[in-house]
Structure 1
Amino acid sequence: MTEAEETVKAAPDVAALEQEGEIAADYLEGLLDIADLDGDIDMDVEGDRAMVSVVGLKGGDLVGPGGEVLEALQELTRLAVHRQTGERSRLMLDVAGYRERRRAELTKIGTAAAADVKSSGEPKALQPMTPFERKVVHDAVAGAGLRSESEGEEPRRFVVILPV
C-alpha cells in the first residue's frame, strides 16, 4: 500500500460520522420528548468520532451518580446508530457538560499522579474508572512523559502509572 493510500485509509469518514451524529440526535430527541425534558442537541465531529451533546438541561437526571446514567444512555444511543447503519459506533455523548468537566478533573488527577510517580519512582494504581475516564488519564500521563496501563476487569478496571 502506498503512503497516499494509507493516509486516505486512516482519515475518518466525516460524512459517515456526521450521519452517526444525525441518527443519535434523532434518537436522543425522541427520548427527551418521551421523558418530557427540554434540551437541545449539539453535534460535532472530533478526530475519528461523532460527538453529541445534550445542552440546556436542568438537573443531573441524565447523568446520574458518577455518570452511570450517561454511560448507559451513550450505549443505548450507540446501539440505535448501529441498528440503522450496521456499523459499530464510537460516538461520544455528553449531557449538560458533564464529560468536559470530568475531563478537566481527570487531567488534573492524571498529571498529579504522574508527578507523584516521577518523584517516588514507584508505580501508582488509581481508582477504577470507565473507559472514557481511563483514556483521559492515559493521555495526561503520556503528556507528563510517563507510561500507564489499564488493569483489572470491567467494571473495576483501573489505571496503573509506571515510572520511566
Structure 2
Amino acid sequence: MQKVEVRAASVAEAVAQALAQLGKDEDEALIEVLAQTADSALVRVSVDDDEDELLAEYGDDDDEEQPKRRRRRVASTDEQTVALARQLLEALLTRMNIDAFVTPVVQKAKGSDDEEDTLTLHIEGVDEETTGLMIGRRGETLRSLQYLLNVLIHRQTGRWSQVVIDIGQYRQRRQDSLEGLALRMAERVRQSGRPMPLEPMSSFERRIIHMALREDPSVYTESAGEGEHRKIVIYPKR
C-alpha cells in the first residue's frame, strides 16, 4: 500500500498532485480529506501496489519454492458505494446536459467508532454560471440533487448512505458563514439576555448552528417552526 499526503489550495488540486506523485489514476486510489478550509485542503491518497503486496505475502516469484499466485483485487463495500455514487451522479449530470467530472473524497469519522465516514462528491470542471444554477437559491437545487442521489443509492444497495454533493466549495463556504453567524448572534443573546430567532434554514444549516454553539456555556439552541419555516432560536442560559 502506497500513501501520499498533499496540501494544496483545493481538494481537486491536492488530489491531482498526489496522483501525479503516485503515477496512478483516480479510479485506482482511495482519497481521504484529512483537513479542509476555505483556502486549503490536506488529502491522503492511497493505492494498492499488488506486486509489492504479493512479494511480501508469498515471496519473490523467482523463488521456485514459493507458490505463484495471482490475487484479484476485490473492492470493499465502501469502495463499491463510492464507485456507485460517482457513477449515478455522473449519469444525472449527463441527463442535465452538464459537462463535468466528479471527484469522490472520504472524510474519516472523528471520535466514536459508531460514527460513519462521510463521502463527498465534488462536481468540478463547470463554469461560474452553471455552478450558480446548480447551487440554486440558498443551496436548494444542490440539496434536491443530493436527496435524489441518496434515494437512487438506497434503491440499489438497500441501505441509506449519507452522500454529500458539493460544487465550487459551496458547502465549506456556507458552513464558515453560518458558524460566524452563530457566534455573532450568540454574543447578542449574551449581551441582551433575550432569545434571538434566526432566519428559516434547512436541516443541514440548522445542524451547523447547533454544532457551533453546543459547547457554549452561556447559550443553547432549539429548533422552532414547521416545514420550510423551521428555524433556530438561540436562548441565554439562566
Normalised to the residue count of structure 2, the TM-score between the two structures is 0.58
1:129 to 175, 197, 201: 201
CA displacement 1:12-49 (0-9 Å, x = unmatched): xxx54543332221111112222332222122223223
Contact 1:23 1:81 in 2 (8 A): yes
1:88 to 157, 160, 163: 160
Structure 1 segment 104-143 matched on structure 2, within 5 A: 104-143=176-215
User: In the comparison of the two structures, how many residue pairs are matched?
Assistant: 150
Q: What secondary structure does 2:145 align onto?
A: helix
Q: What secondary structure does 2:165 align onto?
A: strand
From the superposition, tell whether residues 16 and 133 of structure 1 become closer, same or farther in structure 2 (CA, over 3 Å). farther
Q: What secondary structure does 1:52 align onto?
A: strand
What CA distance in whole angstroms lies between the structure 1 residues aligned with 2:166 and 2:86? 12
**Gapped regions of structure 1 (runs ≥ 5):** 1-14
- 1:4 match: none
**Gapped regions of structure 2 (runs ≥ 5):** 1-75, 110-115
Of stretches 90-99 and 68-77 in structure 1, the one that deviates more from structure 2 is: 90-99
Structure with higher RCO (Cα < 8 A, 6+ apart)? 1
Determine whether 1:19 maps to 2:92. Answer: no
Determine whether 1:156 maps to 2:229. Answer: yes
Identity %: 34
What CA distance in whole angstroms lies between the structure 1 residues aligned with 2:191 and 2:164? 35
Q: CA deviation at 1:152?
A: 1.4
Q: What secondary structure does 1:139 align onto?
A: helix
More helix, by proportion = 1
What CA distance in whole angstroms lies between the structure 1 residues aligned with 2:188 and 2:79? 41
What CA distance in whole angstroms lies between the structure 1 residues aligned with 2:85 and 2:216? 35
RMSD: 1.7
- 1:73 match: 145
Contact 1:39 1:56 in 2 (8 A): yes
Structure 1 segment 45-60 matched on structure 2, within 5 A: 45-46=106-107, 47=109, 48=116, 49-58=118-127, 59=129, 60=132
Determine whether 1:37 maps to 2:122. Answer: no
CA displacement 1:62-115 (0-9 Å, x = unmatched): 111111110110110001110111112222211221111111111111111111
Normalised to the residue count of structure 1, the TM-score between the two structures is 0.83
Q: What secondary structure does 1:106 align onto?
A: helix
